[in-house]
Amino acid sequence: MTLIKEIDYGTPESPSVKSVTLTIDGKSVTVPEGTSIMRAAMEVGTEIPKLCATDSIKAFGSCRLCVIEVEGRNGTPASCTTPVAPGISVKTQTPRLAAIRRGVMELYISDHPLDCLTCAANGDCELQDMAGAVGLRDVRYGYDGANHVFARNNGEVNFDWKPKDESNPYFSYDPSKCIVCNRCVRACEEVQGTFALTISGRGFDSRVSPGMDEAFMESECVSCGACVQACPTATLIEKSVVAVGQPEHSEVTTCAYCGVGCTFKAEMRGEEVVRMVPWKDGKANHGHSCIKGRFAYGYAQHGDRILNPMIRESIDQPWRVVSWDEAVGFAADRLKAAQEKYGKNAVGVITSSRCTNEESYLVQKLARQGFRNNNTDTCARVCHSPTGYGLAQAFGTSAGTQDFDSVDDADVILVMGANPTDAHPVFGSHMKKRLREGAKLIVIDPRRIDLVKSPHIKADFHLPLKPGTNVAMVTALAHVIVTENLVNLDFVKSRCDWDEFQDWAAFVANDRYSPEALESVLGVPAADIRGAARLYATGGNGAIYYGLGVTEHSQGSTSVMGIANLAMATGNLGRRGVGVNPLRGQNNVQGSCDMGSFPHELPGYRHVSNDAARQAFEKDWGVSLDPEPGLRIPNMFDAAIEGTFKGLYVQGEDILQSDPDTRHVSRALANMDIVIVQDLFLVETANYAHVFLPGATFLEKDGTFTNAERRIQRVTKVMSPKNGYADWEVTQLLANKLGLNWNYANASEIMDEIARLTPSFAGVSFKRLAEAGSLQWPVNDASPDGMPIMHIESFARGKGKFVITEYVPTEEKVGPRFPLLLTTGRILSQYNVGAQTRRTENSQWHPEDVLEIHPHDAEDRGVREGDWVKVASRAGETTLRAKITDRVAPGVVYTTFHHPTTQANVVTTDNSDWATNCPEYKVTAVQVSTTNGPTDWQHQYRELTEQSRRIASTIDAAE
């Protein structure tokens, strides 16, 4: 194992298809037009000295170290800013160039500390490397004069010196080591798009300045780490490197946070992670990262992790630490007993969108082969199940149509019910890059998300619709497209079912769907809706990105189909720059759905009633399979309360915190005979569990994740599992106690079985993934290298299907008792229920959930900034602190659900999507009032949690 060192070409790749041939140091080089001489040289292995250049950002030409000579031209131009030209002859090393470079370096070093041996960047410092490369042997100027290096000069206070900024928990900023190359500032602008950094002062006074010369934590910095990565010295450096030292080997793996699926180099010392550095060749992230993937991996070592299996007879008892054998034996016995007593359908499983494909596959296999029923579901039920249903209806597959890079060709970007800069930050940065290049932007969201207006980004249209009116909105947009003759008839005629289109067109053309008629329903000016529709239909390549703000509604599936209608009507499918793109919440939501986690589908989205598909599995698994669909998560809860569903094996999902109507869920869980929780921590659901099986982190196991663009990527084990087993091994232990006789030696064998039985994965194997880096399914004979863009010639289902999208207002209506609409979302620094991120320093950014409320609504209720407020709905009530802001419209309040003490889901209701039972998280009618502190429920819940987390001492356990 070695440390992976990516080649830095100095300047970005040129997109030109035209080639230019030149000579560098006598060697002939052919590169795309527009390539810098620096990059062309690196292409043939000649590394021209450089400091201010790196290939993630545009050339800047400030350090003057990369000077070269071009035959027949005057002077010594910088090779980073000088493009190649046909036939020129370049020299990268001459006595004149060597002297210039040495002079430049001498000046740099004259204002830089010489503490290399004790410096954290020792061995990974470009300044050090360049001093060596240019043969610097002497610094003639000394440190007696003005400098930024010493706190005191000749006993006097040195006002040019600045202390280290240690405010950010993950990296430090030491101004005394800064060479003002601007790489951090440019990375913040060009890569991340936050513009938090600048250079203050001029000449010798130039300093890197977060915000207005603030500390990093006080500035707009979002801690993505791009500046740290770009820094050539120890000025910006990970605190973990300071603490541990330089890594000695690294492995490429995939982040376990959101659905973007960034790949990282886990840089290691032995089994200790020194740092996570985004991998430049990662197709989803191209070397960029966010605060979560880059820094928030400390939960893997957190003291709260449970490392030994535990059981208890009933949930009022303390936990008893037992052996693995006893734990899985206890679990298997109780599952069997429940089936014997209540029938084979009395037990089920929940697969995890945080675990690997291989692990989800095994958990659903456990249900189908072991329990002989289809009671398997996954957390996608509560997020993107309407995407699965809606896109399968419209196009024939349940997946996004594009790769992320497609956004580079988008002319109009329509973001609906998604907040990419918070929830999918690395793709958010990618999108912002395209927006800064001039793409137009339409945002449909009740809340003024950051994309609506942030540095150098401004939405052309923000349609702040009332929560729950998505279907009315997409139909109104369709009305404008149809009645103003903006339909792409060529596309519709050749690619879609013409009869269905005509029915749909007649439906949307009805006056009751005009923006004017719907103005009061939507709360958005009709002119804006018309403008947005015209822009999307006529502005060039139109790409739609949507998230849970679309799906988590009683009409979630209808909205998804409405979005598909818009894309088909305008011909925005089947090529780069367009498409319908669901932004998936968790790292492996796509994968867990692909793996047959749903109760009606076998792996590869084949209905359980499909005889041919079922027979293939029956033959392989040696059992007959149930042809009837099983229970979905909400149906499991209902059946549990009714008394017919008695056992549940939950891998890596905290249903009690993440599912709606907490009281309903806890009642269901309390009614079961056997709840098995497999997780890293004693999560909220574990309060109701009888068996706790410790889980492994993504750093401790092998497997694959599939991201929002259908990209299958490897997860690589970099350390031994602290709990002893990878999660798939734990499932195998349980399966074998149930008599299934599984014999998987490694995750790769599981993938081989998946490939054998799932046509869209036929060509996938760990070996193929190692060769290709990543593959976007389908991977089979028809597309052996995967499919970045789908539906190019025709739709997966043949003709695209237009679906009539009648708007049905949700039953969740405001009234005198509950006059406000609560909608929920996420924040950048926290992830989902927070089980991981709350156990890292990320909590410094977001220590608690707050309620965003409009100043008018706050004033009406006497609520002041920071007050404790009670939020009550017909389902329950909770308290949290108020944040007064006009980001939400009057009548709308907003909160996140990252903290168990807030229990936002005590308030959410059991309303759900008509097609999939995906909960309606995004609309709850509430009342807000001032209060003194937590509600009785919160107090009781805290007590219950403390009670149920008791672990008997090991001595007791041994008795």
Partner 1 sequence: MSHDSVDKLVRMANQIGTFFMAQKHPEGVASMTDHLRKFWDPHMRNAILAHVDHGGAGLDPIAMEAVKRLKPPAGADG
d(CA 440, CA 411): 6
Euclidean distance between CA atoms 898 and 846, whole angstroms: 9
- Distance, in Å, from the CA atom of 871 to the CA atom of 935, rounded to the nearest integer, reads 10
| Shorter beta-carbon distance to partner 1: residue 21 or 644 | 644
Q: Is 915 in the site for partner 1 (CB under 8 A)?
A: yes
CA dihedral 838, 842, 848, 852 (to 10 degrees): -130
Q: How many Cβ atoms from other residues are within 10 Å of residue 151's Cβ?
A: 10
Question: Toward partner 1, which CB reaches closer, 468 or 834?
Answer: 468
Q: What is the largest CA-CA distance in the chain?
A: 92
Restricting to residues 67-106, name those near partner 1 by CB under 8 A: none
The number of residues that bind partner 1 (CB under 8 A) is 40
Binding of partner 1 by 644 (CB under 8 A): yes
Stretch that binds partner 1, among 63-71, 480-488, 515-523, 798-806 (CB under 8 A): 798-806
| Contact mark string toward partner 1, 295..334, x via CB under 8 A | ----------------------------------------
Q: Is 630 in the site for partner 1 (CB under 8 A)?
A: yes
Q: Identify whether the C-beta of residue 179 lies closer than 8 Å to the C-beta of residue 233.
A: yes
Which part of the chain contacts partner 1 (CB under 8 A), choosing from 138-146, 337-345, 732-740, 765-773? 337-345
Quick one: which segment of 43-51, 223-231, 641-649, 878-886 binds partner 1 (CB under 8 A)?
Answer: 641-649
Identify the helix (H) or strand (E) that includes residue 863. none
Cα–Cα distance measured from residue 178 to residue 189, given in angstroms and rounded to the nearest whole number: 18
- Per CB under 8 A, does 642 bind partner 1? yes
Report the distance separating Cα 708 and Cα 258, nearest Å.
Answer: 9
Q: Which of 499, 620, 785, 886 binds partner 1 (CB under 8 A)?
A: 499
Rounded Cα distance, 732 and 715, in Å:
19
Q: Which stretch binds partner 1 (CB under 8 A): 127-135, 150-158, 333-341, 907-915?
A: 907-915
The reply on whether position 599 binds partner 1 by CB under 8 A is: yes
Identify which of residues 30 and 609 has a Cβ nearer to partner 1 in the complex: 609
Least distance to partner 1, CB of residue 388, Å: 11
- Residue 597 is given by DSSP the state -
CB closer to partner 1, 433 vs 600? 600
Told to check if 806 binds partner 1 by CB under 8 A, we report yes
Query: How many angstroms separate the CA atoms of 710 and 338, rounded?
Result: 38
Work out how close the CB of 631 gets to partner 1 at its nearest, in angstroms, rounded to a whole number. 5
User: Angle of helix 470-483 relative to helix 498-509, nearest 10 degrees?
Assistant: 100
- Is position 631 an interface residue for partner 1 (rule: CB under 8 A)? yes
Binders of partner 1 among 408-447, rule CB under 8 A?
A: none
What's the token pair of residue 369?
Answer: 């082969």
- Of 386 and 574, CB closest to partner 1: 386
Q: Which stretch binds partner 1 (CB under 8 A): 45-53, 210-218, 528-536, 908-916?
A: 908-916
**Contact (Cβ atoms closer than 8 angstroms) between residue 880 and residue 895:** yes
* Residues paired with 22 in a beta bridge: 29
374 interacts with partner 1 by CB under 8 A: yes
638 in contact with partner 1 (CB under 8 A): yes
- Is 376 a residue that touches partner 1 (CB under 8 A)? no
Q: CB nearer to partner 1: give 49 or 599.
A: 599
Based on CB atoms, which residue is closest to partner 1, 612 or 745? 612
Give the contact letters, 863-902, x = binds to partner 1 (CB under 8 A), - = no: ----------------------------------------
Residues 462-491 as x/- pattern, contact with partner 1 by CB under 8 A = ------------------------------
Stretch that binds partner 1, among 109-117, 135-143, 499-507, 847-855 (CB under 8 A): 499-507
**Choice from 641, 772, 814, 952 touching partner 1 (CB under 8 A):** 641
54 touches partner 1 (CB under 8 A):
no
What is the full DSSP assignment across 751-769? HHHHHHH-GGGTT--HHHH
- Of 339 and 697, the one with the shorter C-beta distance to partner 1 is 339
Task: Kindly provide the b/e burial profile for residues 13-52, where b requires at least 16 CB atoms within 10 angstroms of the residue's own CB.
Answer: ebeeeeebebebeeeebebbebbbbbbbbbeeebbbbbbb
Parallel, antiparallel, or unpaired for β 774-776 and 171-173? unpaired
Separation between Cα atoms, residue 896 and residue 688, nearest integer Å: 24
In whole angstroms, the minimum distance from the beta carbon of 347 to partner 1 comes to: 13
Q: What number of helices (H) and strands (E) belong to the chain?
A: 30, 38
Chain centre to alpha carbon of residue 406: 17
The only residue of 328, 689, 803, 880 in contact with partner 1, by rule CB under 8 A:
803
Q: Cβ closer to partner 1: 434 or 664?
A: 664
Q: Does 516 bind partner 1 (CB under 8 A)?
A: no
Segments in 719-864 forming alpha helices (H): 727-737, 747-757, 766-772, 855-860
Residue from 607, 756, 767, 813 in contact with partner 1 (CB under 8 A): 607
The reply on whether position 521 binds partner 1 by CB under 8 A is: no
Nearer to partner 1, 279 or 645 (CB): 645
Binding mask 551-570 toward partner 1 (x if CB under 8 A, else -) reads ---x--xx------------
If one asks whether residue 341 binds partner 1 (CB under 8 A), the answer comes out as no
Q: How far is CA 639 from CA 58, 233, 672, in A?
A: 59, 61, 10
Kindly state whether residue 609 participates in binding partner 1, applying the rule CB under 8 A.
yes
Q: What is the DSSP string of 139-162?
A: --S-SSSS-SS-SEETTEE-TT--
Q: H helices within 316-468, ranges in order?
A: 324-342, 357-365, 385-394, 420-423, 425-436
* Nearest to partner 1 of 559, 697 (CB atom): 559
Our finding on whether 910 is near partner 1 (CB under 8 A) is yes
**518 contacts partner 1 (rule: CB under 8 A):** no
Residue 4 is a binding residue for partner 1 (CB under 8 A): no
The minimum distance between CB 636 and partner 1, in angstroms, equals 10
Contact string 155-194 vs partner 1 (x = CB under 8 A)? ----------------------------------------
The nearest distance, CB 416 to partner 1, in angstroms, is 20
The neighbour count for residue 408, using CB atoms within 10 Å, is 15
Q: Which two tokens stand for residue 743?
A: 């014999």
Using CB under 8 A as the binding rule, whether residue 804 contacts partner 1 is answered as: yes
Q: Are 297 and 304 in contact (CB under 8 A)?
A: no
- Joined together, the tokens standing for residue 100 give 């210039």
351 binds partner 1 (CB under 8 A): no
Nearest to 446 by CA among 463, 421, 460, 464: 464
Each residue of 321-331: b (16+ CB within 10 Å) or e? bbebeebbbbb
Report in angstroms how near the CB of residue 565 gets to partner 1 at its nearest.
13
* Cβ distance to partner 1 smaller for residue 128 or 514: 514
Identify the DSSP state of 722.
T
| Closest CB to partner 1 among residues 599, 834 | 599
| Rounded-to-integer distance, Cα 470 and Cα 484, Å | 21
Spatial CA neighbour of 280 closest among 47, 41, 5? 5
Contacts with 799 (C-beta within 8 Å, 6 or more apart), sequence order: 495, 496, 497
629 contacts partner 1 (rule: CB under 8 A): yes
Residue ranges that bind partner 1, judged by CB under 8 A: 343-345, 374-375, 499-500, 503, 507, 554, 557-558, 599-600, 607, 609, 626, 628-632, 635, 638-639, 641-642, 644, 803-806, 808, 811, 910, 912, 914-917
